[in-house]
Amino acid sequence: MPISIFRALVELEEQNRAAALCMIVRSRGSTPRHASSKMLVYPDGKILGTVGGGEIENRVIAEARQAILDGKPRLLEYQMADPARGDAGVCGGQVEVYVEPIQPKPVIVVIGSGHVGKAVAHLAHWLGFRVAVSDDRVELCTPQAVPEAEAYYPVAMADLPQHLPITPWTYLVLTTRGVDVDVQGLPALLDTPAAYIGVIGSQRRWAAASKLLLEKGVSEEALRRVVTPIGLSLGAETPEEIAVSILAQIIALRSGT
């Protein structure tokens, strides 16, 4: 039995996934579907339900996928009379479709659960982010070591994308223990659509890491995605203060400031 749109919406919430809900809010004249017809559009373009098929549906899907990325709702109006002038059909009617993006809750992934990593996980949880922790040192990647996290990935950084879906709503915070770890793990992370990849450490440390990464074949364009030194310049010294500077930077990025 096909799943209903309402059940699919519940699953999106439970699984923290993205989509866009499209609903015909007004129709006039001859149209293939009428008011209250609904369609759910997923980021890959797959759909559940329909708002009429054909060209009108293709256009709505394209707008819905863009809405998922930018988070902005849309009210779309379509004439269905003369395709030669750009209309979406020939039925003769008009439809208005409201597109509501459903964006997942942002996820902070702390990679390296030392003192700063633990402080970042604690503060991110308090701020309402979903929190995941990853560390190849298994004993540091447990609920006992970092109780505020919701998920734990005791794997090498390079293997993390195989275990954790990294999306445009994922913020990667690398509070790692050294250049070697960064050089081995960063190439895999730079191939993901993560919204933020921040690496802790001094400019000298990053200069050493980036030189090695370039030698490994990582492009300069890819390296420009890395935010380092991580966090806003607040004069932070303690792990807790550094965590504040990192989360402040991520909040500023999310708000577009």
- In angstroms, how far is CA 41 from the centroid of its own chain? 16
**Same structural domain for residues 198 and 245?**
yes
What pLDDT is attached to residue 30?
A: 74
End of a domain among 34, 68, 102? 102
Cβ–Cβ contacts within 10 Å for residue 175, how many?
A: 26
> Within this chain, do residues 119 and 239 fall inside the same structural domain, yes or no?
yes
What value does the mean pLDDT of the chain take? Answer: 91
Structure tokens given for 218? 């990582």
| CATH number, position 225 | 3.40.50.720
Q: Is 122 helix (H, G, I), strand (E, B) or coil?
A: helix
Task: Note whether 130 and 249 are same-domain residues.
Answer: yes
Contact 180, 208 (CB under 8 A): no
Last residue in a domain, options 67, 102, 137: 102
Range of the domain at 98: 5-102
Q: Which whole-number Å values give the CA distances from 201 to 127, 149, 214, in the listed order?
A: 24, 23, 18
pLDDT tens track for 164-186: 999 999 999 999 988 999 999 99
What per-residue confidence (pLDDT) applies to 222? 95
Q: What is the reported pLDDT for 56?
A: 85
**Gap between the Cα atoms of 7 and 127, Å rounded:** 29
Same domain, 15 and 39: yes
Q: Which of 46, 77, 102 is the last residue of a domain?
A: 102
Q: Say yes or no: 224 and 123 in one domain.
A: yes
Note the pLDDT of residue 86: 46
Whether 55 has a pLDDT exceeding 60, the answer reads yes
Amino acid 6: pLDDT: 93
| Cα 208 versus chain centre, distance | 29
For the chain, how many structural domains are there in total?
A: 2
